Amino acid sequence: MVSAADAVSFVDRAMQLFPTALAAAKAVTKAGDFVEFEFRNAHIQYCTAVLKNYCKARTFFVRDEPQYLDEFYVPTSLLTQSRGSRRLEKANLDSLLKIGPRVIVDGTGGSGKTVFMRYLMLDSIERGIAYPVLFELRTLNDDADLGLEDALVAHMVANGFPLGVDYAKKAIKQGQVVLLLDGLDEVNFSRRRKLANEIRRISTSTDCKIVVSSRPDLTLEGWELFSRVRMAPLELEEACELVEKIRFDDDEGIKVRFIDSLRSGLFESHHSFLSNPLLLSIMLLTYGHSADIPKRFSSFYERAYIALFEKHDAYKGYRRERETDLDISEFSALFAAFSTITFNEGVFRFASTDAAKFVKIAKKLASSRDISESGFIEDAKQAVCLLVEEGLDLSFVHRSFQEYFTAKYIQSANRNIQKALIERYGSQGSSQFAVDNVLRYLYELSPAVVEEFYLIPSLRKTFGKSYKRKLTHAKWKELVLTMFVGLHRPSDDSTVGFMIADNKKARALLNLFSFVREVCSESHFPAMVAMKDLREELSIYAEPETTTPFSSFGASDPVWKAFANHGSFFSLSDLDRIRAELIEMEKRVRVKEDTEMEFLLGASGR
């Protein structure tokens, strides 16, 4: 890990890369000793630029100045997802690449993927593994025609990579770089499929080591040349270490009491929150307000917003002067409209001029008072800290805040807008609902709205007119074949993976089933048999290093019985539980309607 104290030794260690890099560089130039001298300078310049650009980062608590990574970074643990999965403690680039030369690192929002990628970049040079190239994939949203390899070369040259374009291309070709491709899920979905193909093409045509980070995404299914790992949830001691490292300017006693509470059972009782680094940090922020810990994510983010709005700078004895006089509810309503506009545009990061345009539209949507657009943006940055500056651009402090406020806008919108937005999101057929939490937050805020406009109509369409009867094997098979096209088995000692159909209907169906399982009652969805067990059981039906289409199996082939009766996700019993949940939703709607009618009739009779 790099800090200010060892910056010089970092560049010294970077010289481990020099001999191999120089040998390759001489292949693209015919000059002699002078080139070697120039190349050495360029090599030092690039490694120094890596140190300068990536050894610091802004954190949730400290936004006015970046912190050195070693001041707040807690070594990341990973979970391998192959047969015999295990926890990889304190992962680094060397241990990651032992799993495979090409790796996908996935994790939920706030799990620390981007910070981990920064750590890997510095670690690559410290260990002399290869020239690291950390590239934020979302920058490709700005130019739909720009190819990934051209973008990588331009990025490398802009950061001082030795000898310019020719050597940058050769370095990629010969595997002298490790490509750290951050945030596949942040790329517009219309671009994501093409980008996935570009990444896979680079993986087959070059010797590069590649690490891709992403939230869980259907686009990642079927990447047979890539190993898969997941960001491991924090364990108790890791959570306590992170809290200790957080620069918290309130009463330090709050940190001490919070850690005591974690050790006294709070961590275990709220594991789903506190095992996530971002949510753990937010919990500390709200802990001083109230020791009562919310159990729902939507309540969690609402508390965070209140703490940010009311508490910012209060510990210093004054409250920062705001550019607007919006109260806490007015600011929330306008920021919710702003979040929805940007979410619909598919942007998380945007130019300041675009932000002003978004605010102007948001004022109309929220029926806001005519406040200054620039003043609102300044308050969102400085007073409430929901937006941060990223160079010349702005971005949300974290994407989960954009998602939460979008859900909040839909909750308060009129029914026509609710219906339009929910139907739009539900019918997109992208992996959006697997990676974005808008509908999940909205379900917590207003479950009836989500059931009425998304779940009930979608499930009725899925199961057809006979949805009130038990699911038949034939209908189950029809749904499976809509979602999946076959089985893929990368090697002799690996389990099979399901090849997802590359169409809108398949993705929409997968998202729908996943959503129902997650939000509905556990009584309808008892603990399922692990999918990895199903993958192992079905491995006998696929040859190693091949993809076996389901169309190659006959109607009476034993693979169908094994799949249907297994008891895991997508089994016959799993999909029938989802069908049964549809009937329960309809009952809830009828009870709600009857209750409302009784209330109205009673009120009119008084």
The tens digit of pLDDT for each residue in 441-460 reads 999 999 999 999 999 999 99
Categorize the per-residue pLDDT at 4 as very low, low, confident or very high, splitting at 50, 70 and 90.
very low
Q: Residue 433: pLDDT above 60? A: no
Categorize the per-residue pLDDT at 522 as very low, low, confident or very high, splitting at 50, 70 and 90.
low
Q: Which residue has the higher pLDDT, 193 or 134?
A: 134
Categorize the per-residue pLDDT at 26 as very low, low, confident or very high, splitting at 50, 70 and 90.
low
Categorize the per-residue pLDDT at 312 as very low, low, confident or very high, splitting at 50, 70 and 90.
very low
Categorize the per-residue pLDDT at 198 as very low, low, confident or very high, splitting at 50, 70 and 90.
very high
Categorize the per-residue pLDDT at 514 as very low, low, confident or very high, splitting at 50, 70 and 90.
confident
Winning range, highest mean pLDDT, from 135-139, 522-526, 540-544, 596-600: 135-139
Please tell me the predicted confidence (pLDDT) of residue 321: 66
Which of 288-292, 404-408, 547-551 shows the lowest per-residue confidence on average (mean pLDDT)? Answer: 288-292
Sheet holding 393-396, edge to edge: 349-351, 393-396, 387-390
Q: Residue 122: pLDDT above 90? A: no
Winning range, highest mean pLDDT, from 167-171, 296-300, 474-478, 494-498: 474-478
Please tell me the predicted confidence (pLDDT) of residue 242: 92
What is the Cα 295 distance to its own chain's centre?
A: 21
516: burial class by Cβ within 10 Å (0-12, 13-18, 19+)? Answer: buried
Q: Which residue has the higher pLDDT, 76 or 163?
A: 76
What is the Cα 212 distance to its own chain's centre?
A: 12
Q: Residue 291: pLDDT above 70? A: no
Categorize the per-residue pLDDT at 39 as very low, low, confident or very high, splitting at 50, 70 and 90.
low
Which of 129-133, 162-166, 345-349 shows the lowest per-residue confidence on average (mean pLDDT)? Answer: 162-166
Q: Residue 43: pLDDT above 90? A: no
Average pLDDT over residues 4-13: 52
Please tell me the predicted confidence (pLDDT) of residue 317: 39
Average pLDDT over residues 540-552: 85
Q: Residue 494: pLDDT above 80? A: no
CB burial of 296-334 (b: ≥16 within 10 Å; e: otherwise) equals ebbebbbbbbebbbeeeeeeeeeeeebbbebeeeebbbb
Q: Residue 175: pLDDT above 60? A: yes
Please tell me the predicted confidence (pLDDT) of residue 5: 47
Please tell me the predicted confidence (pLDDT) of residue 373: 94
Please tell me the predicted confidence (pLDDT) of residue 50: 74
Angle between helices 504-519 and 572-605 (to 10 degrees): 70
Categorize the per-residue pLDDT at 543 as very low, low, confident or very high, splitting at 50, 70 and 90.
confident
* Contact yes or no for 499/221 (Cβ under 8 A): yes
Q: Residue 8: pLDDT above 60? A: no
Which of 138-142, 284-288, 363-367 shows the lowest per-residue confidence on average (mean pLDDT)? Answer: 284-288
CB burial of 279-294 (b: ≥16 within 10 Å; e: otherwise) equals bbbbbbbbbbeeeebb
Winning range, highest mean pLDDT, from 2-6, 96-100, 276-280, 318-322: 96-100
Please tell me the predicted confidence (pLDDT) of residue 468: 94
Please tell me the predicted confidence (pLDDT) of residue 435: 39
Three-state SS sequence of 44-85: HHHHHHHHHHHCEECCCCCCCCCEEHHHHCCCCCEEECCCCC
Please tell me the predicted confidence (pLDDT) of residue 21: 60
Average pLDDT over residues 310-314: 53
Please tell me the predicted confidence (pLDDT) of residue 29: 56
Please tell me the predicted confidence (pLDDT) of residue 430: 47
Q: Residue 316: pLDDT above 80? A: no
* Contact yes or no for 453/235 (Cβ under 8 A): no
Please tell me the predicted confidence (pLDDT) of residue 318: 39
CA separation for the pair 19, 455 (Å, rounded): 60
User: What is each CA distance from 313 to 115, 239, 337, 395, in whole angstroms?
Assistant: 26, 26, 26, 22
Q: Which of 119, 158, 123 is nearest to 139 (CA)?
A: 158
Please tell me the predicted confidence (pLDDT) of residue 328: 93
**Long-range contact list for 593-598, CB < 8 A, 24+ apart?**
none
The percentage of residues in the chain with a pLDDT greater than 90, rounded to a whole number, is 35
Q: Residue 557: pLDDT above 60? A: yes
The percentage of residues in the chain with a pLDDT greater than 70, rounded to a whole number, is 82
What's this model's pTM, rounded to 2 decimal places?
0.74
Q: Residue 598: pLDDT above 70? A: yes
Please tell me the predicted confidence (pLDDT) of residue 199: 93
- In angstroms, the first-to-last Cα distance of the chain is 72
Categorize the per-residue pLDDT at 35 as very low, low, confident or very high, splitting at 50, 70 and 90.
low
CA separation for the pair 10, 123 (Å, rounded): 10
Q: Residue 527: pLDDT above 80? A: no
Q: What does pLDDT average to over the chain?
A: 82
Winning range, highest mean pLDDT, from 271-280, 291-300, 424-433, 513-522: 271-280
Categorize the per-residue pLDDT at 209 as very low, low, confident or very high, splitting at 50, 70 and 90.
very high
Q: Residue 271: pLDDT above 60? A: yes
CA separation for the pair 254, 256 (Å, rounded): 5
Structure tokens at 234: 């924090």
What is the Cα 29 distance to its own chain's centre?
A: 42
CA separation for the pair 307, 386 (Å, rounded): 12
Q: Residue 349: pLDDT above 70? A: yes
